[in-house]
A = this chain, B = another copy of it.
Amino acid sequence: MPAPRVIAFDADDTLWHNEIIFAKTHERYRALLAHYHDAATVNRTLFATEMRNLELYGYGVKGFTLSAIETAIELTQGKISAEEIRTLIELGRSMLAHPVDLLEGVIDTLAALTPAHQLLVITKGDLRDQQRKLAKSGLAGHFAAIEIVTEKDTASYAAILDRHEIAPRDFLMIGNSVKSDILPVLDLGGAAVHVPYPILWDHEHVEKLPEAPGRFFQLKTIRELPALLSTLA
Protein backbone atom coordinates (compact mmCIF):
# COMPACT_ATOMS: atom_id res chain seq x y z
CA MET A 1 0.00 0.00 0.00
CA PRO A 2 1.08 3.65 -0.46
CA ALA A 3 1.94 5.84 2.52
CA PRO A 4 -1.31 6.82 4.28
CA ARG A 5 -2.41 10.45 4.20
CA VAL A 6 -4.24 10.22 7.53
CA ILE A 7 -2.90 8.51 10.63
CA ALA A 8 -5.18 7.96 13.61
CA PHE A 9 -4.07 7.08 17.11
CA ASP A 10 -5.89 5.28 19.85
CA ALA A 11 -5.36 7.14 23.15
CA ASP A 12 -5.39 4.92 26.29
CA ASP A 13 -2.31 2.67 26.33
CA THR A 14 -1.22 3.97 22.92
CA LEU A 15 -0.44 7.62 23.69
CA TRP A 16 -0.49 7.43 27.48
CA HIS A 17 -0.57 4.83 30.26
CA ASN A 18 -4.03 3.72 31.34
CA GLU A 19 -4.35 0.01 32.23
CA ILE A 20 -1.60 0.39 34.81
CA ILE A 21 -3.85 2.82 36.72
CA PHE A 22 -6.69 0.27 36.67
CA ALA A 23 -4.22 -2.47 37.69
CA LYS A 24 -3.11 -0.47 40.74
CA THR A 25 -6.74 0.22 41.66
CA HIS A 26 -7.61 -3.47 41.29
CA GLU A 27 -4.76 -4.27 43.67
CA ARG A 28 -6.14 -1.91 46.32
CA TYR A 29 -9.63 -3.28 45.68
CA ARG A 30 -8.50 -6.87 46.25
CA ALA A 31 -6.72 -5.79 49.45
CA LEU A 32 -9.93 -4.18 50.71
CA LEU A 33 -11.86 -7.42 50.16
CA ALA A 34 -9.03 -9.81 51.11
CA HIS A 35 -10.63 -10.87 54.40
CA TYR A 36 -13.75 -11.98 52.51
CA HIS A 37 -12.45 -13.60 49.28
CA ASP A 38 -9.31 -14.66 47.46
CA ALA A 39 -7.93 -12.47 44.66
CA ALA A 40 -9.18 -14.71 41.83
CA THR A 41 -12.79 -14.61 43.07
CA VAL A 42 -12.67 -10.84 43.46
CA ASN A 43 -11.25 -10.38 39.95
CA ARG A 44 -13.72 -12.77 38.38
CA THR A 45 -16.76 -11.28 40.11
CA LEU A 46 -15.78 -7.68 39.39
CA PHE A 47 -15.21 -8.49 35.71
CA ALA A 48 -18.60 -10.24 35.52
CA THR A 49 -20.31 -7.17 37.05
CA GLU A 50 -18.52 -4.86 34.62
CA MET A 51 -19.60 -6.96 31.63
CA ARG A 52 -23.19 -7.09 32.90
CA ASN A 53 -23.24 -3.30 33.27
CA LEU A 54 -21.33 -2.44 30.10
CA GLU A 55 -24.38 -1.92 27.92
CA LEU A 56 -25.88 0.49 30.45
CA TYR A 57 -22.75 2.23 31.80
CA GLY A 58 -20.38 2.12 28.83
CA TYR A 59 -16.61 2.41 29.31
CA GLY A 60 -14.95 4.69 31.82
CA VAL A 61 -14.07 5.27 35.44
CA LYS A 62 -17.52 6.23 36.75
CA GLY A 63 -19.09 3.01 35.50
CA PHE A 64 -16.13 1.06 36.86
CA THR A 65 -16.57 2.67 40.29
CA LEU A 66 -20.28 1.84 40.39
CA SER A 67 -19.53 -1.77 39.37
CA ALA A 68 -16.82 -1.98 42.04
CA ILE A 69 -19.26 -0.81 44.75
CA GLU A 70 -21.95 -3.22 43.56
CA THR A 71 -19.48 -6.14 43.51
CA ALA A 72 -18.17 -5.31 46.98
CA ILE A 73 -21.70 -5.35 48.41
CA GLU A 74 -22.37 -8.68 46.69
CA LEU A 75 -19.08 -10.31 47.74
CA THR A 76 -19.44 -9.26 51.39
CA GLN A 77 -23.17 -10.10 51.46
CA GLY A 78 -23.82 -6.55 52.55
CA LYS A 79 -21.25 -6.54 55.37
CA ILE A 80 -19.02 -3.93 53.73
CA SER A 81 -19.11 -0.69 55.73
CA ALA A 82 -20.15 2.73 54.45
CA GLU A 83 -16.62 3.88 55.26
CA GLU A 84 -15.19 1.22 52.92
CA ILE A 85 -17.61 2.26 50.18
CA ARG A 86 -16.45 5.82 50.68
CA THR A 87 -12.91 4.50 50.08
CA LEU A 88 -14.07 3.00 46.76
CA ILE A 89 -15.56 6.33 45.71
CA GLU A 90 -12.22 7.96 46.59
CA LEU A 91 -10.36 5.33 44.54
CA GLY A 92 -12.51 6.23 41.54
CA ARG A 93 -11.90 9.93 42.07
CA SER A 94 -8.13 9.34 42.25
CA MET A 95 -8.28 7.56 38.90
CA LEU A 96 -10.10 10.52 37.33
CA ALA A 97 -7.64 13.00 38.80
CA HIS A 98 -4.58 10.87 37.92
CA PRO A 99 -1.83 12.64 35.97
CA VAL A 100 -1.44 11.68 32.32
CA ASP A 101 1.84 9.81 31.78
CA LEU A 102 2.78 9.70 28.11
CA LEU A 103 4.28 6.52 26.70
CA GLU A 104 7.93 6.65 25.79
CA GLY A 105 8.55 8.03 22.30
CA VAL A 106 5.10 9.57 21.75
CA ILE A 107 6.19 13.21 21.62
CA ASP A 108 9.06 12.57 19.16
CA THR A 109 6.90 10.37 16.94
CA LEU A 110 4.03 12.84 16.71
CA ALA A 111 6.49 15.66 15.98
CA ALA A 112 8.04 13.58 13.19
CA LEU A 113 4.68 12.73 11.59
CA THR A 114 2.88 16.06 11.89
CA PRO A 115 4.48 17.79 8.84
CA ALA A 116 3.50 15.13 6.28
CA HIS A 117 0.31 13.59 7.65
CA GLN A 118 -3.05 14.57 9.03
CA LEU A 119 -3.23 13.12 12.55
CA LEU A 120 -6.40 12.14 14.42
CA VAL A 121 -7.21 10.64 17.79
CA ILE A 122 -9.93 7.99 17.82
CA THR A 123 -10.76 6.77 21.30
CA LYS A 124 -13.68 5.19 23.08
CA GLY A 125 -14.92 5.91 26.55
CA ASP A 126 -16.29 8.71 28.63
CA LEU A 127 -16.38 12.07 26.82
CA ARG A 128 -15.25 14.10 29.79
CA ASP A 129 -12.52 11.65 30.90
CA GLN A 130 -11.00 11.50 27.45
CA GLN A 131 -11.17 15.25 26.83
CA ARG A 132 -9.55 15.90 30.21
CA LYS A 133 -6.75 13.43 29.49
CA LEU A 134 -6.12 14.94 26.09
CA ALA A 135 -5.94 18.43 27.58
CA LYS A 136 -3.56 17.24 30.31
CA SER A 137 -1.41 15.37 27.77
CA GLY A 138 -0.32 18.56 26.01
CA LEU A 139 -0.68 16.69 22.69
CA ALA A 140 -3.91 18.23 21.41
CA GLY A 141 -2.10 20.62 19.05
CA HIS A 142 -0.85 17.73 16.92
CA PHE A 143 -4.32 16.52 15.97
CA ALA A 144 -6.69 17.78 13.29
CA ALA A 145 -9.60 16.19 15.16
CA ILE A 146 -10.40 14.23 18.29
CA GLU A 147 -13.07 11.57 17.86
CA ILE A 148 -14.52 10.10 21.05
CA VAL A 149 -16.96 7.26 20.45
CA THR A 150 -18.89 4.87 22.67
CA GLU A 151 -17.70 1.78 20.77
CA LYS A 152 -14.89 1.24 18.26
CA ASP A 153 -16.53 -1.03 15.71
CA THR A 154 -16.65 -1.06 11.93
CA ALA A 155 -19.72 1.21 11.87
CA SER A 156 -18.13 3.88 14.06
CA TYR A 157 -14.89 3.92 12.03
CA ALA A 158 -16.92 4.09 8.80
CA ALA A 159 -18.84 7.10 10.15
CA ILE A 160 -15.60 8.88 11.09
CA LEU A 161 -13.95 8.24 7.70
CA ASP A 162 -17.11 9.41 5.98
CA ARG A 163 -17.38 12.59 8.05
CA HIS A 164 -13.75 13.51 7.35
CA GLU A 165 -13.92 12.39 3.70
CA ILE A 166 -11.07 9.90 4.11
CA ALA A 167 -10.78 6.94 1.73
CA PRO A 168 -9.89 3.74 3.62
CA ARG A 169 -6.76 3.26 1.47
CA ASP A 170 -5.48 6.64 2.77
CA PHE A 171 -6.04 5.69 6.40
CA LEU A 172 -3.84 4.01 8.98
CA MET A 173 -4.85 3.36 12.59
CA ILE A 174 -2.44 2.72 15.47
CA GLY A 175 -3.43 1.16 18.75
CA ASN A 176 -2.86 -1.47 21.41
CA SER A 177 -6.15 -3.37 21.03
CA VAL A 178 -6.49 -5.78 18.11
CA LYS A 179 -10.23 -5.90 18.75
CA SER A 180 -10.89 -2.15 18.84
CA ASP A 181 -8.04 -0.59 16.84
CA ILE A 182 -7.08 -3.17 14.22
CA LEU A 183 -9.86 -5.54 13.10
CA PRO A 184 -12.56 -2.94 12.26
CA VAL A 185 -10.06 -0.84 10.27
CA LEU A 186 -8.78 -3.84 8.27
CA ASP A 187 -12.41 -4.77 7.69
CA LEU A 188 -12.98 -1.39 6.00
CA GLY A 189 -9.92 -1.74 3.80
CA GLY A 190 -7.60 0.53 5.79
CA ALA A 191 -4.22 -0.27 7.30
CA ALA A 192 -3.49 -0.82 10.98
CA VAL A 193 -0.49 -0.99 13.27
CA HIS A 194 -0.63 -2.92 16.52
CA VAL A 195 1.64 -1.69 19.30
CA PRO A 196 0.91 -3.93 22.30
CA TYR A 197 0.83 -2.52 25.83
CA PRO A 198 2.08 -4.80 28.63
CA ILE A 199 -1.41 -5.11 30.16
CA LEU A 200 -4.61 -5.77 28.18
CA TRP A 201 -8.09 -5.63 29.72
CA ASP A 202 -9.77 -9.05 29.34
CA HIS A 203 -12.64 -7.44 27.45
CA GLU A 204 -10.25 -6.49 24.62
CA HIS A 205 -8.72 -9.95 24.28
CA VAL A 206 -8.79 -11.68 20.85
CA GLU A 207 -7.61 -15.21 20.09
CA LYS A 208 -5.34 -14.60 17.12
CA LEU A 209 -3.79 -11.83 15.09
CA PRO A 210 -5.31 -10.94 11.72
CA GLU A 211 -3.69 -11.79 8.40
CA ALA A 212 -3.66 -8.85 6.01
CA PRO A 213 -0.28 -8.71 4.29
CA GLY A 214 0.80 -5.17 3.48
CA ARG A 215 -1.99 -3.68 5.60
CA PHE A 216 -1.36 -5.07 9.07
CA PHE A 217 1.83 -4.46 11.02
CA GLN A 218 3.04 -5.04 14.53
CA LEU A 219 5.61 -2.84 16.25
CA LYS A 220 7.26 -3.04 19.66
CA THR A 221 7.09 0.71 20.23
CA ILE A 222 5.54 3.76 18.61
CA ARG A 223 9.12 4.94 17.92
CA GLU A 224 9.31 2.45 15.05
CA LEU A 225 6.36 4.05 13.24
CA PRO A 226 8.21 6.63 11.08
CA ALA A 227 10.57 3.93 9.78
CA LEU A 228 7.61 1.67 8.91
CA LEU A 229 5.90 4.55 7.08
CA SER A 230 9.03 5.23 5.03
CA THR A 231 8.91 1.64 3.74
CA LEU A 232 5.33 2.28 2.55
CA ALA A 233 6.09 5.54 0.76
Contact = CB atoms under 8 A, between A and B. Distances in A.
A92 B97 CA distance: 23
Contacts of A131: 150
A89 B76 contact: no
B82 A73 contact: yes
Copies of this chain in its oligomeric complex:
2
B56 A97 contact: yes
A70 interface: yes
B85 A73 contact: yes
A69 B73 CA distance: 13
A63 interface: yes
Contacts of A126: 58, 126-127
Interface residues of A, number: 32
Nearest to A127: B127
Contact of A58 (B83, B97, B127): B127
A65 B127 CA distance: 18
B96 A73 contact: no
Most central of A56, A65, A83 by chain B CB within 10 Å:
A56
Interface string A128-161: 1001000000000000000011100000000000
A80 B81 CA distance: 9
A78 interface: yes
Contacts of A70: 86, 89
B93 A83 contact: no
A79 interface: yes
A22 interface: no
Contacts of A60: 62
B83 A82 contact: no
A57 interface: yes
Contacts of A86: 70, 73, 78
A12 to B, nearest CB: 15
16 contacts: A56-B97, A62-B62, A69-B69, A70-B86, A70-B89, A73-B82, A73-B85, A78-B81, A78-B83, A80-B82, A82-B82, A85-B85, A127-B127, A127-B149, A127-B150, A128-B150
